[in-house]
Amino acid sequence: MSFIPSGVIPAVLLPFFDDLSIDEASFRAHLEDVASVKGLSALTINAHSTEVASCTFEEQKRVLEITKDQLKGQLPIVHGIYAEGSLEAAKIARMASDGGSSALLVFPPGPLTMGQRPEMVVEHFKRISDASGLPIIAFQYPLAGGQGYPLQTLHRLFKEVPAVRAIKDWCSSPVLHEKQVRQLQSLNPIVNVLTTHSAWLFASLVLGGNGLLSGSGSVIADLQLALFNAVQNNDLKAAKLINDRIYPLAQVFYADPWVDMHNRMKEALVLLGKLPRAVVRPPLMKVTDQEIQWIKSALIQAGLLTQEGKPV
């Protein structure tokens, strides 16, 4: 386990043709574009941003094959583990390990919404760890939905499954976020907190997390990296200026309903001339023309488009 997840890790998007099949050429171009940002720690695939819920096992395997071939070792690959059951999760983990991934991002299984016991969480992660041997990032959801892990459960998980080396924190509570940063990053060995509070990224980074893992990195990896570095260097004046560019995009990407966040990011990349179309798979649906205009306005405010709508 040589790769310890930290730093800036964008989660890339997955382009589709109009018939909803994967547009492999556009995906390669997207990977090349995001990976060209110098200073990133890794890229994440087969996660929410790549609409993993609508992808078959074979499609996920193909996404990994394309990513590995395109990156050619340029960056480590973080592979999402999105499954309702532990056996399927272990199967995906084994595929990801065999396919050259460097770490796993484990989504909480859906049945936890009906109630969880700590031993259930430990067993789920243990099966994934045993199947892969890779470092694991636990995706921390809001506690109110039932899929988030209480701190007591997390501490037991780290003790019994030492492969878990980071959390992707979407707890949605500044108080809990800070508590997790302080507690988990004080452990030995350290468990890094990677924020995914992209709607309030600047504020969350100031609380001291050792990285960020975000789908909006598919559009603004360079700005996220600049913001992270400024905060790490305690240069809050520079960080505020960078955040002023990110803020309008966060307002449109993470507006209600949140389920459309990655649809909107695809539309942004179309406006920037980086994707040929913004097709999403059902049950996701294309956003309205009015929303596309809001996205265009936000890109202009961020300094990524001119007033005439041309990429800067």
| Nearest residue to 250 via CA among 277, 282, 286, 212 | 212
pLDDT tens-digit series, residues 6-53: 999 999 999 999 999 999 999 999 999 999 999 999 999 999 999 999
- Percent of all residues in the chain with a pLDDT value above 70, rounded to a whole number: 100
For β-strands 103-106 and 77-81, DSSP reports them as parallel
pLDDT at 112 over 80: yes
Query: DSSP letter at 195?
Result: E
pLDDT band, residue 1 (cuts 50/70/90): low
Average pLDDT, the chain: 97
pLDDT at position 222 is: 98
Residue at token pair 């045993």: 130
- pLDDT tens by residue, 217-234: 999 999 999 999 999 999
- Residue 2 has a pLDDT of 82
Which pLDDT does position 183 carry in this prediction?
98
Which strand (E) or helix (H) includes residue 8? Answer: strand 7-10
At the topology level, CATH places domain 7-233 in TIM Barrel (3.20.20)
Torsion angles phi and psi, residue 146, rounded to 5: 90, -15
Q: Are 156 and 185 in contact (CB under 8 A)?
A: no
Residues facing 43 on adjacent strands: 77
Q: ∠3-22-275 over CA atoms, to 5°?
A: 85
Number of residues in the chain = 312
pLDDT at 59 over 60: yes
Residues 125-150, mean pLDDT to the nearest whole number: 97
Enumerate the domain spans of the chain. Answer: 7-233
Q: What are the pLDDT digits (tens) for 196-213?
A: 999 999 999 999 999 999
Say if pTM beats, i.e. exceeds, 0.85: yes
The residue-averaged pLDDT of 140-163 equals 97
